[in-house]
Amino acid sequence: MKKIHILIALLFISITAIAGGNEKFQQKMGETLGGYATAQSPEDFQQLANKFARIASVEKKEWLPLYYQAHCLIIKSFVIKGEPAQRDEILDQVEKNVEAMLELAPEESEVFALQAFYYTARLTVDPQSRGMEYSMLSNQAIGKSLGINPQNLRARYMKISNDMGAARFFGKNPADYCPDAKALYDSWDEVKSPSPIHPQWGKDQVAELLNSCK
Amino acid sequence: MKRFIICLLFSLLQLSLSAQSTLSGIILDEKGEALPGANIYLDGTYDGCTSGLDGTFTFSSQESGDLVLKVDFIGYKSFSQNISLPGEISDLKVQLEEAFTELKAVAITAGAFEASDAKKAVILTSLDMVTTAGTAGDVYGALQTLPGTATVGESGQLFVRGGNANESQTFIDGSLVHQPYQSTAPATPTRGRYNPFMFNGTVFSTGGYSAEYGNALSAVLLLDTKGVPAEDQLDIGILSVGGDLAGTKTWKDGGITANVNYTNLGPYMSLVPQNFTWNQAPEALGSSLSIRQKTGKSGLFKLYGNFSRSGFNLEQEDPNAALERNTYDLSNDNLYLNASWKSLLNANWSVKTGVSFSMGTDEVGLAEGNFTSGLKGLHSKSVLTRQLTEKIKIRAGGEYQRREYEEIFSTENEEFANRYSDNLLAGFMEADIFASKKFVTRLGTRMDYSGRSNQAQFSPRLSTAYKLSEKSQLSLAYGWFYQNPTDNFQLYTDQLNPERADHLMLNYQMTDQRRTLRAEAYYKNYRDLVKFTDQPFYLPEGYTNQGEGYAYGVDFFFRDKKTIKNGDYWVSYSFVESQRNSRDFPEMATPSYVSRHNFSFVYKHWFGGIRSMAGMTFQYGSPRNFNDPNQDGFNSSTMPAYKTLDLNWSFLYRENIIFHAAVSNVPGFKQEFGRRFASQPGPDGNFQSVAVRPPAKRFIVLACFITLSPNKDKNQLKTIQ
């Protein structure tokens, strides 16, 4: 994921003329996506999220800046070492973004996939109380995402991840889903993204799932 | 430093050669401390920056003209300032103000146990109510493990802080439930009619409650039903005492659930020895329908209807004639309808309206003749809420209630019938005022009017809460509470005034991660209680409002979800001192439903390895009084202390199949609830009596719950975990 984003960022910085009315938007998005390459700490992800927020405040009809702001904040909520209340507060902003995205793009598969990711993040804040409810919400969002686009890579990744988690909980073997994970990893690059600034992430995460299969 | 460089680099990537301005400064929070991670930007442009760990920021911009500089950070109000570029803006000091949201501010806790899934800091979830051992799925049973309540084994109803069972009212979705308990025989315990799985929000208020609720001297139980169902599903419950079938179909923004349930204790009672003699074991058949529909952007319409028919034939020992037994043949029909709608009207206004209708008939066959009682009730209420300012919210509402009650006693030759009806009107107004995030005051007033007695009463209500620290708060509540006399007195007189109780309570609550401590002290003053005179009961002269009483005490509650891994427990202790002179009391005395000390210990443990949830409940109630006419003094005899130890076990066999077993009173503690006495002394001058005992020493339930749904992962574990 990181390498691809560096390449894309460099590409956009070097190209001076791109046909199309949203040239500035595409360029800015490309540049900002480059930030993923070096982001590691919670502060890094907050900073990256803020950049996407600024783009979102200008481009009020685009859902992609809101998407990445939310995505960065979800990652921040995972890496921050803080109280549950702090993590929930970060996710409160994500919740606002998800609602806004659903208004702008009600039939966008990636938005539902991100919603599923958001529900999983909420779950991990307090698994004991939220386990059943939020895993159900996450699965529903994945269902909606795949219903719109059965090829959606991120939705397919999260389905396998959720299934493995449920298997562990119900005392079944998570390795039953390893063949699905392998197939997804192998065929990842076959699915083309609508544009360089559309969501590309997930392959590294599938690789992590495969690691736990060995 | 790294952030500073990156910020600068990206702004330098602009290809334009126009004039450049530099903006810098520092972002602080309310306390004046550095606020890192804030988003500083020029509105309408891409130009901006994030504040560093020390709160400082610097960025450049090629923009020119009149612009707005904005600063955003979650949890704080957005800051804006007009500036003109090009120009140098340096040493800009921005202090952000915390955003006010009611969810994060202090909440009034005096007298209220909220089990709402919506709030984040919650002591009990609605699932806790359902999964507590010993309750056998009865909401009122679960409430009896909370402080402020007493377990009165011969009744099974809710007795709160020295108050009688009729002093507590139940509301579903804001509308009154006229008959929340199943019909039962005298000295035979009952349970709630409604399936606790229906609800996802519970507020149990043991006093000091909002002006929205009236006609309750001691407590209100507010139950909120679940919203639109998420998925189609079929739920099958097979129990040792019956079965339950529910089907749910959903559509866009709505859903319908139909349920049929059947209970028959006959087979169970033929296997397990009982204290009571049942000629026909309790049997009940019921069905319910529930429709949910979202309306518009923020509205929700709910419709719920339940019809059930039940009956039993019980032989009870007759204290009047030692060798004889009375049969009590009960058959009951009950219909309950409840419709409600709530919606936001715009940014500041919201409305909530509901109506409920109850129709219940009890037919009892006794040796002497047939006794029929019937209640028809209608309750409708509308409430408007307006957010006046960010910190002030006002609510106002009106209610109408109609009650029709009749009792008919018929023998072969004659029939005695009595009936009464009453139209009640009520209005209330209430304001929630947040002086700050730490201090809230709720002021309310309510007016109740009864058409029959042509009288109106005003009740002031006041409650306030102050946050002492991040984790603890203090709350105070005071109010007057009126309640009309019970139906069986109103049959014979329309001269009575409502009874009245004044509450004063102080509450301290501390929540630290997953542990909660609550302590509450209260004083209740009762007046205008109904008292009997020496005139016959069927004449208005038989009743006055001369009764009075008091109750005071302390309640403690401690819940810990943290200390034991996968374990969750709570401890509750209540002390109450209460006396009253009402009804047939000859003097001030402690009623028989009051126990001075009440203690509950509830424990639940999740055994992940075997996918099981185990629960245990221990309860103790100190000896209660009862009246023995053979003894001097009134209510001077005491029954043995009440003790029980209940266990339950749930096993997740497959994702959609759960097995459940529950046993009450495992050690078989002897439970006796006083004695019933003959109405006349026997030949030796003594009043004969029979002991009042529970229906059986122990009650065992076995069940299997199956959930079928398109999404195979669904099950009812959530409902029993």
Nearest residue to B378 (alpha-carbon basis) of B350, B362, B356: B356
Q: What percent of chain B has pLDDT over 70?
A: 93
Does the beta-carbon distance from B611 to A170 stay under 8 Å?
Answer: yes
pLDDT band at B187 (very low <50, low <70, confident <90, very high): confident
Identify the pLDDT of residue B15.
44
Would you call B64 exposed, middle or buried from its count of C-beta atoms within 10 A (0-12, 13-18, 19+)? middle
Cβ-Cβ pairs closer than 8 A, A with B, add up to 75
What is the value of ipTM here, to two decimals?
0.83
Q: What local confidence, expressed as pLDDT, does residue A173 receive?
A: 84
Contact residues, chain B, for A133 at CB < 8 Å: 718
Which residues contact residue A186 at a Cβ distance below 8 angstroms, ignoring those fewer than 6 apart? none
Hey, is B444 helix, strand or coil?
A: strand
Alpha-carbon distance values, B638 to B122, B625, B679 (Å): 38, 4, 20
CA distance A205 to chain B (A): 23
pLDDT band at B202 (very low <50, low <70, confident <90, very high): confident
Does position A181 have pLDDT exceeding 60, yes or no? Answer: yes
- The CA-atom distances, in angstroms, between B721 and each of B170, B193, B232, B649 are 25, 22, 21, 10
Residue A19 has pLDDT above 50, yes or no: no
Alpha-carbon span B97 to B31, nearest angstrom: 9
pLDDT tens digits, B619-667:
999 999 999 999 888 999 999 999 999 999 988 887 788 898 989 999 9
Contact state of A132 with B611 under an 8 Å Cβ cutoff: no
| A127 touches B at CB < 8 Å | no
Altogether, the residues listed in chain A come to a count of: 214
Mean pLDDT of A160-174: 83
What b/e readout covers B357-383, taking b as 16+ CB neighbours within 10 angstroms? bbbbbbbbeeeebebbbbbbbbbbbbb
A128 touches chain B (CB under 8 A): yes
State residue B115's pLDDT score.
60
The structure tokens 């709608």 sit at B341
* For residues B549-559, average pLDDT: 95
| Other C-beta atoms lying within 10 Å of the C-beta of residue B16 | 8
Residue pair B53/B70 in contact by the 8 Å Cβ criterion: no
Mean pLDDT of B396-412: 95
Within 10 angstroms of residue B415's Cβ, the number of other Cβ atoms is 11
- What are the residues facing B256 on neighbouring strands? B249, B291
SS3 B131: helix
Q: Is the pLDDT of residue B443 over 70?
A: yes
B216 CA: distance to closest CA in chain A (Å): 34
Distance CA B351, CA B385 (A): 6
- Please say if the pLDDT value at position B232 is more than 60: yes
pLDDT band for B303, please (50, 70, 90 cuts): very high
Q: Which two tokens stand for residue B6?
A: 């990156």
Higher confidence at residue B51 or residue B100?
A: B51
Is the per-residue pLDDT at B718 higher than 50?
Answer: no
B418 C-beta neighbours (distance < 10 Å), count: 15
Q: Which of A55, A166, A171 minimises the CB distance to B713?
A: A166
Predicted confidence (pLDDT) per residue in B453-496, tens digit: 898 999 999 999 999 988 899 999 999 999 999 998 999 999 99
CB contact under 8 A, B561 and A54: no
Q: Is the pLDDT of residue A21 over 50?
A: no
CA distance B138 to B694: 17
Cα–Cα distance, B284 to B353 (Å, whole number): 32
Q: Quick one: pLDDT at residue B6?
A: 54
Query: Residue A88 and residue B120: Cβ atoms within 8 Å?
Result: yes
Beta carbons of B113 and B167 less than 8 angstroms apart:
no
Mean pLDDT of B685-707: 88
pLDDT interval class at A9 (50, 70, 90): low
Q: What is the enclosing helix (H) or strand (E) of B95?
A: strand B88-95
Mean pLDDT of B46-53: 91
Q: What is the pLDDT of residue B11?
A: 53
Do B53 and A129 lie within an 8 Å CB cutoff?
A: no
Chain B residues with CB inside 8 Å of A60's CB? none
Which residue of A28, A43, A133 is in closest CB contact with B718? A133
H helices present in B234-288, as ranges: 266-271
Specify the pLDDT at position A169: 75
In this structure, of A11-20, B149-158, B280-289, the range with the lowest mean pLDDT score is: A11-20
| Mean of all residue pLDDT scores within chain B | 88
Q: Which of A71-85, B194-208, B267-281 has the lowest mean pLDDT?
A: B194-208
Average of per-residue pLDDT across B90-110 = 81
pLDDT tens for each residue of B340-381: 999 999 889 999 999 999 999 999 998 889 999 999 999 999
**Higher-confidence residue: B624 or B115?**
B624
Q: What pLDDT, on a 0 to 100 scale, did the predictor assign at position B719?
A: 40
Could you report the per-residue pLDDT of A89-121, keeping only the tens digit for each? Answer: 899 999 999 999 999 998 999 999 999 999 999
Q: Does A70 touch chain B (CB under 8 A)?
A: no
| C-alpha to C-alpha distance for A110 and A107, rounded to whole angstroms | 9
Which residues from B are below 8 Å from A24, CB to CB? 46
**Residue B719: closest CA among chain A residues belongs to which residue?**
A132
Q: Categorize the per-residue pLDDT at B58 as very low, low, confident or very high, splitting at 50, 70 and 90.
A: very high
Q: Cβ contacts (< 8 Å) between A31 and chain B: which residues?
A: 10, 13
Average pLDDT over residues A6-29: 63
| Band of residue B127 on the pLDDT scale cut at 50, 70, 90 | low
- Distance, in Å, from the CA atom of B241 to the CA atom of B310, rounded to the nearest integer, reads 14
